[in-house]
Amino acid sequence: MYKFWGLCTFTQNNQVLTFEQITENEKLWAVRYDGCLDNVLDSIFEQWNDVVWLRDFFKANLEDLTSYFKITDVNQAIYDTIEDSEKLQCLIMDISPDANLDVAFRPLDNNRTSEMLLDNDITDKDSFNDYQKEIN
């Protein structure tokens, strides 16, 4: 899916992890686990665009979908996920070389679950475009 300019490999717990450089400016890398054909960046975007995978996922997690996102229609969740995936992929791949990545990415913090969900601020088109301008 993406052109790779560099590779960095190391071993953790007897498993070889290869870091594949995604962007030429060396700001974006993705892990490829030993024995996997795709890196995790490719894999996650493939899953987020795979209707069958998404349907199975949302059916298995319908309670979470309903309680956290207030979505009861699996088809709507699939549509929303594919749409968000396309926006996120464009955002990630279009980050300018001089961008401050701390603005685009935040550390995960298990104590702040309300912010871990995609902020509603960037899901509507105008806010998403403003956010994209901010990081470029």
- The secondary structure of 99-124, three-state, reads CCHHHHCCCCCCCCHHHHCCCHHHCC
Q: Do residues 72 and 26 share a domain?
A: no
Distance CA(41)–CA(30), nearest Å, equals: 6
Answer yes or no: do 66 and 103 share one domain.
yes
| Partners of 132 in beta bridges | none
pLDDT (0 to 100) of residue 18: 84
CB-count exposure of residue 132 (10 Å: 0-12, 13-18, 19+): middle
43 in any annotated domain: no
Question: Are residues 75 and 109 both part of a single domain?
Answer: yes
58 and 103, same domain (yes or no): yes
What distance in Å separates the CA atoms of residue 105 and residue 71, rounded to the nearest whole number?
Answer: 26
Residue ranges making up the domain that contains 18: 1-37
Do you know the residue count of the chain? 136
d(CA 85, CA 5): 24
- Residue ranges of the chain with per-residue pLDDT less than 50: 1-6, 113-125, 128, 131-132, 135-136
Same domain, 78 and 15: no
Same domain, 118 and 72: yes
Helix, coil or strand: residue 40: helix
Residue burial 88-111, b: 16+ Cβ < 10 Å; e: rest: bbebbeebeeeeeeeeeeeeeeee
Q: Indicate whether 119 and 60 sit together in one domain.
A: yes
Is there a single domain that holds both residue 22 and residue 76?
Answer: no
Residues 30, 55 within the same domain: no
Same domain, 55 and 29: no
Asked if residue 76 belongs to a domain, the reply is yes
The verdict on residue 78 lying in a domain is yes
Q: Is residue 42 part of a domain?
A: no
Number of domains composing the chain: 2
pLDDT value of residue 45: 94
Please report the pLDDT score of residue 62 as a whole number: 95
- pLDDT at position 108 is 64
